[in-house]
Chain A
Amino acid sequence: MSTNSIKIFSGNAHPDLAYLIARRLGLDLGKVVVSKYSNQETSVTIGESVRDEDVFLVQSGCGEINDNLMELLIMINACKTASARRITAVMPCFPYARQDKKDKSRAPISAKLVANMLTVAGADHVITMDLHASQIQGFFNIPVDNLYAEPSVLKYIRDHVPNWSTDSVIVSPDAGGAKRATSIADRLGIDFAIIHKERKKANEVSRMVLVGDVKGKAAILVDDMADTCGTLCLAAKTLVDHGASAVYAIVTHGILSGKALQAINDSPLTQVVVTNTIPHDDKKVKCPKLATIDISATLAEAIRRTHNGESVSYLFTHAPE
């Protein structure tokens, strides 16, 4: 009888992160060939036996997002039909997470569709990080472990922001993120403020309203996601106009698409800190203000604990060293 051992495979979305996770666990990545036919269909070959194994597939939602999702689904299905005992999809950044509600008439809830697709493909468990809305856990019929980057963010602030305890304020760049901001502000024991895009009159360009005080302090903007960075840069400008001495932005998922890098370079932001749920090494060259928080340890620890059947709730409040 073989003992139920652990196998980690990586798709093409973020092999560097998968490597960091595997190295921390003292494992090698499993052999898998993911290629494309000439008509752009994805083809997956799992290069080693997964029969009765505990399989973890690391694939983030980034870059060529649909190709990467398709890759993940096919990999899950390949492992399922190859008699894997359990298949856990490790998705540091969950694709389509922003489409989680009918915010307009006839809007699709695509996050639910992705959840259904993962389940149908054969996933038994999902590990992800900082879901755009934690209600997405309810879209699945399988267990979802939503990890938090918050402990790592707190550590970063304590280590890197000068005089954080007396001279800084946590700021939410929109109303929806107020809860995230207050949670961080509470943990650090510092004040918080909120920025809101307000439309006072029809036909007037929306303006930013700051609720709270940032005068003479370093403002730390926190959010779960930064894409084109339009809101973030406008928020930074508003904060500087209101007397903030420096503006940091700490974001879990740095998608940074479109003109984001140019916008950050031109903005008064002092530093933009993102985690490595999404690859951004090439972007760091173009944008010197970018800095990284490595969260591979949190994911690795979650994988280890899931495999061993231990509780993961410790990771909600502590960043592994």
Chain B
Amino acid sequence: MTLRTLGAGTARTAGTVLASCLAVLLVVAALPWLSGTDPARTVLRMRFAEREPDQQALEAIRAELDIPANPLLGVLHWLAGLPRGDLGISWVSRQPVGPEVASALGVSATLAGTAATVAVLLAAAVLLPGLWRATRTGKPLGRTSGAVAGLLGSLPEFVLAALLLAVVAVHWGWLPTFGWSGVESLPLPALALGVPAGGLLARALSGGLDATIAEPWVRTWRANGFSRPQVLLALLRRGIAVAIPQLVLLFVGLLGSAVTVEAAFAIPGLGQTALDGLLSQDLPLVQGCVLVLILLGLGLGGAGMLAHRALLGSVLHTAEVPAAIPVSQPNSKLPAVLAVLLGLIVLAGLPRDGSSVLLTERLAAPSAAHPLGTDAVGRDILARFSSGALLSIGTAVLVSAVCLLIGLLVGLASRRGRAGAPDVLNALPPVLVGIVIAAAFGSGLFGAAIAVVLVGWIPLAVHARTLAVQARGSGYVRAATLGGARRGWILRRHLLPSVFPQVLRHAVVRVPHNALGIAALSFLGLGAPHDSAEWGAMLAQSLGYLERAPWTIAGPTIGLALLGMLAGSIRGTRN
């Protein structure tokens, strides 16, 4: 590659990035036009919760806010202040946006950093035993670690937060229940965010590690008397190379998307700030948050790619990276057992009546009449669990399938790893995407599914991109390229077989995660309609009763956990 083409590539990247930044800012600025809601009205509502929006009041606020005539003018005006470091004045509080966003960013960065650390430690704890075993036996990591990772990854953050608060903070009184006043404020929210993230991370890595374990060099090393720690380190190095871009995604994602956990612990973080701004259409505040998130996403996304190349680089340029080899697995009964269990519970509830409201039966404990208890308006939880199963699992599976397709297409198409549009999108809180979708198309389960797809394909694309970079560095592909093979042929014969199985597993383990993403939007009234038996909506409606009536939470949580374990223990077997 000559210097000139390198320069052109960089310029093109910069262009793409700049264009995507501008596009996102424009969409934010266009929110009032998309939703058809007058910002003066939402600002009035924030300042005076119960004041009637009379014309005089609305006119006064309109005059004060100086609302731009169209989104483009609004963005240009706002951008004009940037060189002076001026992020504008909040429409609601009339305070400068810059300091508020900076302090929220500090909070979120600390929280996301700690949560990412928790996630890494947890992923290590899940994977290391199997890996250590593999240094002796050369066998894959096993289904148990997959199921454990799947289980952890399917725990809803907000349920975990409520559980930690009830037990550790209130019952034991060990840590504060709210706030951000010192180091003691950190462990609980970091755990609530880090544990599910650790599960996802472990799951994303285990596929790659299994493939690495099966590579011939491992057997050679073992046979030639390399010590087990030496083999382990070599395995880890390959694992970490794949992990770093995922970890960066995780960290950046956590910066703006920890809304439910921030709300549970009353932490003044970036996600909550952005959400408040969105709900009140406080455009300068939202634009400030979005800009910071995008810049960080791009910066860290680029850094993650550099780190990946640095870790893999010496191998890529000097020696050969063996292509990942699909691994065949011994059969196991675990997935079947989990599937049957889940199926039986659903079947048991199908004939039951889940719609009749009986206020006198409110929050009844599990009994013969109601095996899983009743909810806050006295409906049978087992019946609702069953009727919500198809909706929840079906939507999540569909979303994951679409994510997989997009992720593979984008991941394999990007020839070189560098920051781009995916990093811009990944940095955006899904809530923002959800609100924009809802503003443009109306709220509903379909809109929520689209919003989750819009951010859900990114980890898969990054995963595919990382794996493809590795595969392209392998001897097969280099030999094929040198031998004049066409790109399509290489893609079909070499890239897809080594990339697809791992990304597919990653996509499968994300099914419960996507269900949770839809649930989080349902929580804000942007997803499944009220009274829907969709599991996320059920959880959102019952969260306040965690201590008084734990069974209201148990049903859908167990459902998601079974789904997670099932997704985690299924492995692509291929001969």
Is B a genuine binding partner of A?
no
